[in-house]
Structure 1
Amino acid sequence: MTTTARIGTRFLARAAALAAAGALTLTACAEPGDGGEATASGDGVTGTVTLYTSEPQAKIDEIISAFNEEQPDITVEVFRAGTGDLRARIAAEQATGEIGADVLLAADVPTFEGYKDQDLFREFTPSDPDALLEVAVDPDGYYVGTRIIPTVIAYNTNDVDEPPTSWAELAEPDYSGQVILPNPDISGAAAFNASAWSLNPDLGPEWIEELGANAPQVAESNGPVAQAVAEGSRPIGIVVDYLVRDLAAAGSPIGVSYPEEGVPYITQPGAVFADARDPEAAELFLDFIVSTRGQEIAVEQNYLPVRDDVGTPENAPSLDQIALFDQNLQAIARNQAAAVSAFTEAIR
């Protein structure tokens, strides 16, 4: 499967009916509201969408603001947390009988595969599915990736003259005590990576053990990892690539290396819950994120997009210039819990 492959005609069956409307109320970092059925207002749609997301607050605020320009009568309320915390919240809500979200936008496919198996999602087809990369679309039609986010090696350009060019190098003695990485118990991307690395024939559990023997520092999530490298408290970090571009653009001494074995990547999927109180409004919001305008915003936010008609971020390689892991998502999902446990034990 290549990153430039297109999705087939089976995804063309449904399309969201998009229309203009009148005023949006934006609530950022709010507790989930009561929702209510979406209703028509003239030719538009009104309603409330409760979003659970791990997306950085400033970035999701920009997306909602742009969505406001097209659907101003849809209120979007946001509860933001790490993917692990979102899973815990959803589990607690399942136990009480009602999930509080309409849309989930978070880091890793295994989480979405698990929820799909529990019949927690509605079927969803983007309005422009033939424009999306095949790796971004659930072949069963329940979720859609919203950006391509590789994990890379970051380095402080003041402290590192010759950055590592492979994952294998990070397990060498020279890098003992030099590396910082995110906690896979909290970060969905880090949990996904633990499984992807353990299944990679060039790395596997042996590399994870060797990396752990080098006593890497563990940060809560990708953000603190990138900051630590930029500030020089650790010269090397394992981190998602867009954060490196964000900091470099702001003037921080941080660079990026794409390892020669390839890079694991997530697609930050989005899905609409089966019991969404405003399903039409929820689908309109998710559809906007993968629309041309939504993906232009992704590029402006330093993400690699899930469609190839919007360009790429400044100073970022195109997808065909990056060696991506050949990822079997079902195998990664099945292996993830055991891989996270082994990875956590190794780096403890």
Structure 2
Amino acid sequence: MKFATVFGTLALAGVAFTVQAKTELLVYTAVEADELAKFKQAIEADNPDLDIKWVRDSTGIITAKLLAEKANPQADVVWGLAATSLKLLADQGYFQAYAPKGVEALDPQYVDKTKPPLWVGQRAWVAALCFNTVEAAKANLPTPTSWHDLAKPEFKGKVVMPNPNSSGTGFLDVSAWMQMWGDTKAWKYMDGLHENIAQYTHSGSKPCKMAAAGEVPVGISFAYRGAQEKSKGAPIDVIAPSEGVGWDLEAFAIVKGTKKLDAAKQLANWSVTRKANEIYNEGYAVVAMPGVAKPVPYYPEGIAAKMIKNDFEWAAKHREAILAEWAKRYDSKSEPKK
């Protein structure tokens, strides 16, 4: 009986030891919520000593949270956040430089130029329109093929767009318009577009979901969400406007001062593997590792060729001023914050 008790105690101690052997990593992310379980499972399958704890929100919200915590960072890793946000934070000394094992296999344009890099890109998310063909037919709306079509009178009250202060998708749109057309023409365009906007949402996905559900004919969103909604049977066309489309990189970085640096490096190493890039490609057509990406169903044809030459340095440098001016001009149509 004594032996059984001792054995039982040892067994319980063994179970406790196994649980304690896992390192919990607090990871801030803006990756779509419906993908996080898949990523957690894949990461932990290859790194059984890691326990990934996600803190997920839209790009602007996560960026604001990181900035607010600058004096006392809480996250161990920032993962799947816009490169423009990571550049902004990197310039403020937020991250631990680290070259993940195998990073040299990635396309150099998707990796921070600092040696070793402060952040590393994973995949690009690309602007697109979600256009509900059924609702459009009811309203006798033509199919928009360009950004400027959305500012025409027939689209008044028919367009929903993400707020760039809370949504990375919204910011990449505004940034792209300014890079393509210059400040004056871009603000003039946004003034005209604003007349037709029914609402600015705090999520980059929401405009596409609203269009898919028939709540509005046009949602300014991004290609991944459009392809997802169309694959579920939504009566939408996913359109890449003719002038060119904005995009940003989902990227990761290790937070400087983390007490779990070895575990954070493990996650970084996994994040540049071919396996990781293949998972990135399940929903996104452009990934950091050359030769991996296969076409994604329902993405607009030729969308990669329409991606603008994106100046991340410029976007990060001007981000705060652009957002302040945007809010002053257009915030009156934003949905209430939760």
TM-score range, shorter chain: 0.7 to 0.9
Cα 1:295–1:228, aligned 2, differ >3 Å: closer, same or farther?
same
Match among 75, 79, 98 for residue 101 of structure 1: 75
Query: Within 5 A, what are the aligned runs for 1:7-22?
Result: none
For 1:245 and 1:268, the matched residues in 2 are separated by 18
Relative to structure 1, the CA distance from residue 66 to residue 177 in structure 2 (aligned partners, 3 Å threshold; closer, same or farther) is same
CA deviations 1:147-204 (Å, max 9, x no partner) are 1101111101223364211111111112111100111121123223323322322752
- Correspondence 1:343 to 2:326: yes
Give SS of 1:200's match.
Answer: helix
Q: Distance in 2 between matches of 1:290 and 1:265?
A: 20
CA contact (8 A) 2:245 2:308 kept: yes
Establish whether residue 323 from structure 1 lines up as the match of residue 306 from structure 2: yes
- Structure 2: how far apart are the matches of 1:295 and 1:77? 21
Shift of 1:89: 2.6
**Aligned mate of 1:186, from 166, 171, 176:** 166
Q: CA deviation at 1:245?
A: 0.7
Aligned partner of 2:187: which letter?
P
Amino acid at match of 1:87: T
Partner Cα distance (1:156, 1:170) in 2 = 14
Matches of 1:213 and 1:345 in 2, distance apart?
A: 15
> Is contact 2:168–2:204 with CA below 8 Å preserved after alignment?
no
| TM-score, with length taken from structure 1 | 0.80
Deviation track 1:300-319 (CA, whole Å, cap 9, x = no partner) reads 23453222322232333577
How big is each residue's C-alpha offset from its partner over 1:214-235, in whole Å with a ceiling of 9 and x where there is no partner? 2342112122211110011110
Q: Write the distance in 1 (CA, Å) between the matches of 2:135 and 2:301.
A: 27
1:127 deviates by: 2.4
| 1:133 partnered with 2:116 | no
Equivalent in the alignment of 1:73: 49
Number of residue pairs aligned between Structure 1 and Structure 2? 306
- 1:242-287 per-position Cα deviation (integer Å, ceiling 9, x unaligned): 0011111111112211111110001111101111221121122133
CA contact 2:29–2:62 (8 Å) conserved in 1: yes
Q: Deviation of residue 88 (structure 1)?
A: 3.2
**In structure 1, what is the equivalent of residue 29 of structure 2?**
53
1 CA distance for matches of 2:268 and 2:136?
41
Inter-CA distance 154–147: structure 2 relative to 1 (3 Å threshold): same
Q: 2:156 maps to what in 1?
A: 176
Equivalences for residues 248-259 of structure 1 within 5 A: 248-259=230-241
- Name the SS of the counterpart of 1:339 in structure 2: helix
Aligned mate of 1:239, from 209, 214, 221: 221
Cα deviation 1:127-149 (Å, max 9, x = unaligned)? 22343233321111110111110
Partner of residue 31, structure 1: none
Unaligned runs of 5+ in 1: 1-22, 26-35
For structure 2, the 5+ residue unaligned runs are 1-16, 333-338
Q: Which residue of 2 aligns with 1:314?
A: 297
Q: How large is the Cα RMSD of the aligned pairs?
A: 2.4
Higher helix share: 2
Q: Distance in 1 between matches of 2:120 and 2:318?
A: 22
Q: Provide closer, same or farther for how the CA distance between residues 317 and 130 of structure 1 changes in structure 2, counting only shifts above 3 A.
A: farther
- Residues 1:63 and 2:63 are matched in the alignment: no
Q: Residue 237 of structure 1: CA displacement?
A: 1.1
Deviation readout 1:25-53 (Å, 9 max, x if unpaired): 7xxxxxxxxxx9xxxx8xxxx53321011
2-structure distance, mates of 1:189, 1:239? 7
Quick check: which has more Rg, 1 or 2? 2
The 1-side partners of 2:109 and 2:198 are apart by 31
* 2:134 corresponds to which of 147, 154, 158: 158
- Secondary structure class of the residue paired with 1:280: helix
TM-score by length of 2: 0.83
Match of 2:221, SS state, is strand
Aligned sequence identity (%): 24
- Counterpart amino acid of residue 182 in structure 1: P
CA offsets 1:43-96 (integer angstroms, 9 cap, x no match): xxx53321011112331221110112211011111111222322333233334x
Is the 1:295–1:306 Cα contact (8 Å) retained in structure 2? yes
Give the whole-Å Cα distance in 1 for the aligned partners of 2:18 and 2:145: 47
- Residue identity in the other structure for 1:333: A
Describe the shift of the 1:321–1:150 C-alpha distance in structure 2 as closer, same or farther (beyond 3 A).
Answer: closer
Letter in 2 for 1:94: K
Quick one: distance in 1 between partners of 2:236 and 2:99?
Answer: 39
